[in-house]
Amino acid sequence: MSDIKLRPEPDEALFRIQRGLAGYISYLAACDVNTAFSEYVLYEPILRILMSRGYAVQCEFPCPGIPKPARGDRKKVDFEATKTGLRFALEVKWAREQQLSIANDHRKLVAFHEADPTSYSFLCIFGRMSDISKDIPMKDKFTEKGRPIYADFYRTKYGCRIYQLNVA
């Protein structure tokens, strides 16, 4: 039996996502696959971590509350995770040097929460420490969950920050 104290869900899963992503992308960088880096590289480790925590997970979940446009695809939430008595949406962004754009993510997270007011909505920002250490746009709309986690292996420092949607 382990003496490790776990956080209540979904905090434990979110903390593990932060740790896992920072380490996983650092590993991939050591394998020289940096040119393939995109938001989608983050999906598989997030999916595995959520499933290991007992969540049923849907990726690219059609966003409730946002109707399908006349042209184009319907808006989708990156992840929907459910577990007994718990449901949350998770939008994922890979921050780059340029200004981070999260207005669309905010809109989807608000719509998800309004469709199920008992649910949670989270934004996961991943990237180099230099790109994610500053405040996010729309910072008044989100509250950071826990502390940022960075993998510091004397090279590029990758990290992850999780924000929860502020609801009225």
Residue 123 counted as domain residue: yes
Residue 3 counted as domain residue: no
Residue 137 counted as domain residue: yes
Residue 76 counted as domain residue: yes
Residue 2 counted as domain residue: no
Residue 6 counted as domain residue: no
- Taking each helix axis as running N to C, give the angle between helix 11-30 and helix 43-52, from 0 to 180 degrees, rounded to the nearest 10: 140
With a cut of 80, say whether residue 155 has pLDDT above it: no
Residue 92: per-residue pLDDT: 97
- Ranking 32-46, 50-64, 101-115 by mean pLDDT, the lowest is 32-46
Residue 61 counted as domain residue: yes
Contacts of 95 (CB under 8 A, 6+ apart): 125, 126, 127, 128, 131, 132
Helices (H), 31-102: 43-52
Provide the domain limits for residue 33: 11-165
Model pTM?
A: 0.92
Residue 1: per-residue pLDDT: 53
Residue 5 counted as domain residue: no
The mean pLDDT value for 49-66 works out to 94
Q: What is the CATH number of the domain that holds 114?
A: 3.40.1350
The mean pLDDT value for 104-126 works out to 96
Residue 2: per-residue pLDDT: 59
Number of structural domains, the chain?
A: 1
With a cut of 60, say whether residue 5 has pLDDT above it: yes
